[in-house]
Amino acid sequence: MLGIGDDAAAWQPSRSHLSVITSDALVDGVHFDSRAMPGRAIGHRALAANLSDIAAMGARPVLATVALGIAPDTPLELVLECYRGLASLAVKFDTAIVGGDIVRAPALTFSITVVGEVARTRLRRRSGGRAGDVLAVTGALGASRAGLELLRRDLDVAADAALAARAAFATPEPRVREGGWLAASTHVHALMDCSDGLSTDVARLARASGCGATLSAVAVHPAAEAVARAAGHDPLDYALDGGEDFELIVAVAPRAFGHLRERFARRFGTPLRAVGVLEREPGLRFLDAGAQTPRALAAAGFDHLANVPG
Amino acid sequence: MLGIGDDAAAWQPSRSHLSVITSDALVDGVHFDSRAMPGRAIGHRALAANLSDIAAMGARPVLATVALGIAPDTPLELVLECYRGLASLAVKFDTAIVGGDIVRAPALTFSITVVGEVARTRLRRRSGGRAGDVLAVTGALGASRAGLELLRRDLDVAADAALAARAAFATPEPRVREGGWLAASTHVHALMDCSDGLSTDVARLARASGCGATLSAVAVHPAAEAVARAAGHDPLDYALDGGEDFELIVAVAPRAFGHLRERFARRFGTPLRAVGVLEREPGLRFLDAGAQTPRALAAAGFDHLANVPG
């Protein structure tokens, strides 16, 4: 492999695999706040979002390019801290940073591209779900949103919950190994990451699969529970609409789910929890505990285009 | 191939080739001026810079991702025009735009990544040059700088020269086919694109190859000649330091150069011109016409890092 310092970087892709690619841009003041977050967290999150997209294809990351926009008032130390956060996550997941660009920009900006590889039979799209599939998520949801709340204001929360929420927000762990493992099962029909909030992303997976979905038992993270209560918010809102948890959403054949859940928990020490079901009827619904019939649910998570003028 | 609309795009890389990747970021007010340039030219140039990097490895482009930052005051029509310019160049060189991101940003920003492919024996680095090699460039230099001058002020220049200069600036043609063709010759030891000015880029190629270089006969574009004269500038400065011509710089074994030059001109209808020689002695020199000994030359082209604070 030939890295930084030539016109382009070169590598030998695996002969038996497909290549996958994803790009994200993150801008100071839009996607993060460099005055309120440590540089390491900014860099970590920027790469985590892309690694999560790669994991959501069932692929493993191979390399990344990073184009960095630096504002006139960006302290050099902040840039270095961002890069350290990014590089240490890259090392953790064997992702080589092979090049990029450094330019002047009006705000600190990261444009990251990650290339990964996946065996053809393991590639998972969000459109592969089937009516009747169990919808499940890895881990639990809402902790990143809770961490954001703790950045915004002081709340009286137990120390361990505060620590967990802050870590979930600042240094979320993309489910890279979990994605590859799940994609190895033929019973896993669709895979997607939950970066924009469960309601938004399940609605997308269902629509792409030509289905609707009913959510019922959403796995709320204990830290989200604690912070939301202290803030006077509904913990379920954090889990449904918070986003940036970088957990994986999986559509699994119902007869295979129980066994997969057990093997997943044993392999990763993390639960794989059922949160709903894919259905023939379009739309997104939520079945409250004890209710007989589900209610319609609006997808209220982050919509990229809603932030764009036009 | 699986494109936009999933977590990532997937493709089957050629089994017998290396993959190459390059990323660039371009920011309004830094790399281009959206008030002074048509949108089509902005988009065209943004992709051309990346295609040129791919060509400079001897590779052919396969796909691109585009992360677009849109400012609150960016007119939608400008965004669409930029995208059209970018997309029509992509079509011309069989490059699929497979994904990306659209985000809010303080200034119109393009972050483009291009992936290409090259047979292992055809990969050319800038570090492969050898003392004694002929340094040659495709086409002629300085026309892009001339076009920029015409954007800045009205000058009394012949219509055909003005047209050529404006086109060289607005819609430069990356030497994609030429790069692949040159890299097929084992006599071509090093390849690099001339995006930052001949003096800067030849100095980089020479240094990477553990050599120095003396430039002598620089191929000045006739339009650069005409515009520089009208502006009261030295045309040689446009050619040496102007940059963004996206021509290729080649280091060729001296005994093979004559034949290669002839075949190149026949194949592409464009000259491949000797502009100097790689030497054992480090540094960059220029031999003026009629002079006995070369003078030291400062690399005065665009330096990306010089634009970055810190």
CATH 3.90.650.10: does it fit domain B126-300? yes
Superfamily of domain B17-122 in the CATH hierarchy: PurM-like, N-terminal domain (3.30.1330.10)
In the chain, the amino acid numbered B249 is I
**B54 interfaces chain A, CB cutoff of 8 Å:** yes
| Chain A interface disruption, residue of B103, B118, B176, most A CBs within 10 A | B103
Look at phi and psi of residue A278 and say left if phi exceeds 0, alpha if psi is from -120 to 50, else beta: beta
Residues A141 and A109: beta-carbon distance below 8 Å: no
Q: A64, A20 in Cβ contact below 8 A? A: no
Q: B25 vs A106: CB contact, 8 Å cut-off?
A: no
By the 10 Å C-beta count (0-12 exposed, 13-18 middle, 19+ buried), A280 is classed as exposed
pLDDT digits (tens, 9 = 90+) for A118-173: 999 999 999 999 999 999 999 999 999 999 999 889 999 999 999 999 999 999 99
What pLDDT does residue A1 have? Answer: 66
Backbone angles phi, psi at A112, to 5 degrees: -120, 135
A102 touches chain B (CB under 8 A): yes
Three-class secondary structure of residue B143 per DSSP: helix
What 3-state DSSP class applies to A181?
A: helix
Q: Is pLDDT above 60 for A305?
A: no
Does domain A126-301 fall under CATH 3.40.1520.20? My reply is: no
CB B246 within 8 A of CB B138: no
Look up residue B296 and give its two tokens.
């030291």
pLDDT, averaged per 10 consecutive residues of chain B (310 residues), comes to 73 92 93 92 95 96 95 94 96 92 92 95 94 97 95 93 96 96 98 92 96 93 97 94 93 98 98 97 92 83 43
**How far separated are the first and last CA of chain A, in Å rounded?**
42
pLDDT at position A308 is 39
Q: How far apart are CA B308 and CA A69, in angstroms?
A: 9
Beta-carbon contacts of residue A48 (< 8 Å; ≥ 6 apart) = A89, A171, A172, A173, A174, A246
Count of CB pairs separated by less than 8 Å, A with B: 228
Q: Which residue has the tokens 């400062």?
A: B298
Domain with CATH 3.30.1330.10 in chain A: 17-122
Measured CA distances, A151 to A23, A147, A170 (Å): 27, 6, 10
Bridge partners of residue B10, in order along the sequence: A20, B2
Q: Which residues of A touch B15 (CB under 8 A)?
A: 15
Chain A residues in contact with B63 by the CB 8 A cut-off are 21
Start-end of CATH 3.90.650.10 domains in chain B: 126-300
Residue in chain B lying closest to A209 (CA): B6
Backbone phi, then psi, for B276, in 5-degree steps?
A: 170, -160
Task: For residue B77, give the 3-state DSSP assignment.
Answer: helix
Domain with CATH 3.90.650.10 in chain A: 126-301
The arithmetic mean of pLDDT across residues A257-286, rounded, is 97
For residue B140, the one-letter residue type is A
Q: What is the pTM of this model?
A: 0.90
